[in-house]
């Protein structure tokens, strides 16, 4: 049995630890707060983030990061994106040379514009395990995973073997794991879709209809792919689970914290008010800021992201932002790289 360490006992970390333990792996879960750890040990329930659902008693819960990560074959960092660098620094002295380090966060570092695997590579560059960095992404609400509802995600790494080991470790009858070597596309899909989900929520908050949401999602995936290709991703990745799949669930589900945050913005609340009203991290807020400035730096046209940034951080009225999007000059739809790939996949693969 491989030793699997999950660092971070939020909703997603708890759900991943439960999947691993149910697969009979030797599973450890690091909990930051002692009070929560003791409560979870007693009740086999994360009452803060996943109330009402029991998790496997096979999970070893600990507040000792060294105990959790030392000699672990797979270390899953299930912390918010802004905490990935800090946790990588704290864990790197305990990592085995051949450990697989997995990022389960969906975001872009706000100051460096780096993806989570890039952050990990930077912090682990002196270790051999930097070659085994992997990312998990896809449509996966923790609230459903913990209840063992059928879910499919992607394990992505330039090292195909590392991705396959994660696949074999986590996959079971209700949790299907695909592999992909395009870690750039997988990570960008998981991060950028949160921007579109916030916009989808704003649309709902403004009491717009299904037409509006369909337009946002369709043009959103084209926008995501446009940036992805410039950064080296394969356009087809955005047609997969970490692209369209995650976009659909995040833009439409009542469980989506980014969509719920967007609804409040559409109803007139500020980012500060929304942030202070929840324990959950709204990854899309920081990602919107990072993506806006990264797009400017790269010269990539991202009109939805731009308007989202202006609404969230510059106080632009959401209705005015919608008007700005709708009154842009006319475009030819098939110029977008993702649509080209759908229409002529063979030709584009040859090119």
Give me the active site residues, please: 193
Per-position DSSP letters for 207-240, written without gaps between them: T--HHHHHHHHHHHHHHHHHHHHHTT--GGGGGS
122: left (phi over 0), alpha (psi -120 to 50) or beta: alpha
Which residues does 234 contact at the CB level (< 8 Å), separation at least 6? Answer: 182, 185
Residue 351: partners with Cβ closer than 8 Å, 6 or more residues away: none
Closest CA to 182 of 227, 236, 105, 256: 236
User: Half-sphere exposure (CA, 13 Å, Cβ side) for 297?
Assistant: 10
Is 305 in a helix, a strand, or coil? helix
What is the sign, positive or negative, of the torsion defined by CA atoms of 205, 207, 209, 211? negative
């Amino acid at each position: 049995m491989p030793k699997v360490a999950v660092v971070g006992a939020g909703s997603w970390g708890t759900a991943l630890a439960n999947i691993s333990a149910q697969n009979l792996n030797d599973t450890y879960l690091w909990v930051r707060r002692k009070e929560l750890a003791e409560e979870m040990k007693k009740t086999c329930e994360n009452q803060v983030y996943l109330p009402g659902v029991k998790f496997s008693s096979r999970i070893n819960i600990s507040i000792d990061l060294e105990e959790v990560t030392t000699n672990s074959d797979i270390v899953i960092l299930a912390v918010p994106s802004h905490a990935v660098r800090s946790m990588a620094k704290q864990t790197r002295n305990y990592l085995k040379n051949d450990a697989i380090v997995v990022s389960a966060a969906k975001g872009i570092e706000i100051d460096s514009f780096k993806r989570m695997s890039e952050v990990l590579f930077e912090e682990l560059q002196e270790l051999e395990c930097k070659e085994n960095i992997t990312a998990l992404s896809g449509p996966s609400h923790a609230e459903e995973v913990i209840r063992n509802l059928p879910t499919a995600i992607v394990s992505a790494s330039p090292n195909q073997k590392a991705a396959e080991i994660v696949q074999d470790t986590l996959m079971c009858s209700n949790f299907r794991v695909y592999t992909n070597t395009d870690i750039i596309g997988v990570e960008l899909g998981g991060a950028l879709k949160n921007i579109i989900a916030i916009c989808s929520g704003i649309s709902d908050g403004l009491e717009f209809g299904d037409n509006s949401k369909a337009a946002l999602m369709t043009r959103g995936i084209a926008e995501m792919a446009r940036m992805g290709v410039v950064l080296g991703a394969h356009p087809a990745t955005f047609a997969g689970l970490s692209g369209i799949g995650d976009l659909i669930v995040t833009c439409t589900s009542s469980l989506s914290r980014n969509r719920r945050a967007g609804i409040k913005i559409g109803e007139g609340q500020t980012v500060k008010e929304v942030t202070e009203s929840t324990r959950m991290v709204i990854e899309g807020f920081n990602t919107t800021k990072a993506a806006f400035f990264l797009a400017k730096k790269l010269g990539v046209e991202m009109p939805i992201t731009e308007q989202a940034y202006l609404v969230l951080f510059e106080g632009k009225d959401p209705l005015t932002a919608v008007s700005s999007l709708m009154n842009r000059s006319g475009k030819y739809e098939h110029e977008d790289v993702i649509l080209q790939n759908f229409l002529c996949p063979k030709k584009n693969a040859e090119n």
